[in-house]
Structure 1
Amino acid sequence: MDRQARRTGFLLVITGAIFWGGSGTVVKKLFQEYAIDVNWLVTTRLLIAGILLLTVHFFGKDHSQVFGVWKNRRSAFQLIVFGLLGMLAVQYTYMASIHHGNAAVATLLQYLAPVFIIIYLILRKQSAFTRQDLLNILLTLIGCLFLLTNGSISQLSVPTPAIVWGILSGIALAFYTLYAVSLLKHYNSLVIVGWAMIIGGFAFSFIHPPWQIDLSSLRIATYLYLLFVIVLGTMVAFYFYIKSLESLSPKETSLIGSLEPLSAVLTTVFWLKEPFGFFQWMGTACIIGMILLLALNKQSSSKTNQPLKEEMPLT
């Protein structure tokens, strides 16, 4: 692998992670200053990003998979379940957590997913409880305690609904990660995620149709922020992550992907001027440390050159 290709890979995954993390902060700005409805944004983001991802794959390699996934009944059923209980659940709970709190806390709480996965696998007796698991869980618990209380047990630093939705987002992401495994063994991740977004967006359209918005009331800045969230923060970020795996190992992409929560925290604090205390920074460090440890430990027990289609990041 030549140096230029690796440099390009690093640039892609770094850019994707920053777009992912920053999009949550932009979403908060849309809720706060531009009165964008959370239900409308979830529906619109899923539909447009899903269509764009499938379009990119259709004009790339092996476009037969775009519709081939529907030819197998079992795969089609799994895809519908994944779209509703995985993709839609992750997107809505994450957006709701941002709406009630902020992007930094919502993103960090969503990253509780690895701990929920560890607990699930232990309870199902598919994995033994190790010292590494104990360390990860302790880091997460301490991190959450600091993040949500800022060192004061008597009061929470963020609203309770934001915490509840954030934890539900972590649970949804755990399901999203575990349930997708069998689908990704047979189909490209762009196809699976693209269709899952469309399924989730279509289902949510019955709750809040995407055309139910007064476009005349939107300002140019609103359109630009929406463009960032839907295109750069969703479709482009995901595509960059997948593309980077052509020149980088999953270990490298996983570690650099940890920039996502850091990006969310930094943009929340320095762009939106949200207050963030010393103990919240400590909590952030604990949770990001847990993510890094998991990424490193995962690679020590498996080959670093996994098939590209088995890697599916958070969207």
Structure 2
Amino acid sequence: MRNKGVIMVLTAATCWGLSGIAAQLFFQHFIATPGLLVAIRLLSAGIIMILMQCLFKGTASAFSIWSDKKDRLTLLIFGLIGMLGIQYTFFAAIHYGNAATATLLQYLGPVFIIVFVSLHLKKMPGVKELTAFLLALIGIFFMTTSGSLNSLSITIEALVWGILSALASAFYTLYPRKLLAAWGAVPVVGWSMVIGGIGLSLFSPPWYFDWNQGSLYLFSLLLFIVIVGTIIPFYLFLDSLRFVTAARASILSSAEPLTAVLVGTVFLRTPMDMIQLLGSFCIIVAVIVLTFQPANKGRDSSKKQPISG
């Protein structure tokens, strides 16, 4: 059963990595802003998730989250800041850079969590945390400069949006824990996607997209991003937590940036030299160091957690 959970996590992480590649292809071949693509993704995926919750768990389980006034406000904040923030910054980083760089920079989220928790508790991080932080800094340096202090190897826009994506990832992970514990991941993530999508639509209405560009390729990419890049990996990752611990799942999810890097460099010819690849490796190792726990300590009770991608 553990092997089944491992396969599910790896499949989910691979799907998320491929969704970033699909977004890169979308921006390369069609005229669209990150806001338009994110609005389409959030609204489509969120509505489908809620409908599936109604179908398999009943209407009450999907809508009962709105009955609590305090949780209602928390859900609105999470949708407009957490979900919308992580999705928009990630796709903007892809738009101004590429999927591999955007995914790796977003993967720095746990490092920012260390900083926040340390400041909140007024306590110095431990050796493991400091080691991961140092590895992450080295990784960013190698990735963005190729080891040279004279120039950036990625655009400043891609770097800024990538760092903002990591910050948004930290907020997305820390903020909704009580919501997830009370209502479960599907209603929380589904409704937060709808909320974020509606909020973004006020500024980037999906109907403003030039659908005259429409072709089988266009709709195939959109369908891939919504279904393969969102719905399928979400359910696989969520269901995998019945078989593997959250800590083990977090480590296995490093397949997401690995997929983005491998597919981007091999098939999309995304330029990435050996120094940048070393930087990518440092970032992935940093996150693995942070999430690794001995087997007897890994069976935590916090299995309900926000989902990547």
TM-score if structure 2 supplies the norm length?
0.95
1:168 to 143, 164, 174: 164
Amino acid in structure 2 at the alignment position of 1:141: L
Secondary structure of the residue aligned to 1:276 is coil
1:213 Cα shift?
2.5
Post-superposition CA distance 1:110-155 (Å, at most 9, x none) = 1111111111111111654211111011000001000111111111
Residue 311 (1) aligns with residue 305 (2): yes
Gap runs ≥5 in structure 1? none
2:73 to 71, 77, 93: 77
1:164 Cα shift?
0.4
Amino acid in structure 1 at the alignment position of 2:227: V
Residue 122 (1) aligns with residue 118 (2): yes
Q: Give the conservation status (yes or no) of the 8 Å contact 1:65–1:188.
A: no
Alignment-derived partner of residue 97 in structure 1: 93
Residue 267 (1) aligns with residue 263 (2): yes
Amino acid in structure 2 at the alignment position of 1:223: F
Amino acid in structure 1 at the alignment position of 2:261: V
1:54 to 37, 50, 62: 50
1:275 Cα shift?
0.8
Deviant stretches of 4+, over 3 Å: 5-8, 299-303
Amino acid in structure 1 at the alignment position of 2:101: V
Q: Distance in 2 between matches of 1:87 and 1:257?
A: 19
Amino acid in structure 2 at the alignment position of 1:291: V
Post-superposition CA distance 1:204-235 (Å, at most 9, x none) = 11111112223232111111111111111011
Identity among equivalent pairs (%): 38
Post-superposition CA distance 1:143-201 (Å, at most 9, x none) = 10001111111111100000001101111111111101111120111110100000000
Q: Give the conservation status (yes or no) of the 8 Å contact 2:32–2:209.
A: no
Q: Distance in 1 between matches of 2:53 and 2:98?
A: 33
- In the TM superposition, what are the counterparts of 1:122-201 in structure 2 within 5 Å? 122-125=118-121, 128-201=124-197
RMSD: 1.7
- In the TM superposition, what are the counterparts of 1:289-308 in structure 2 within 5 Å? 289-297=285-293, 302-304=297-299, 306=301, 308=303
Aligned pair count? 309
Residue 88 (1) aligns with residue 84 (2): yes
Post-superposition CA distance 1:78-99 (Å, at most 9, x none) = 0000001100011111111110
Gap runs ≥5 in structure 2? none
Q: Distance in 2 between matches of 1:116 and 1:83?
A: 20
1:9 to 5, 11, 21: 5
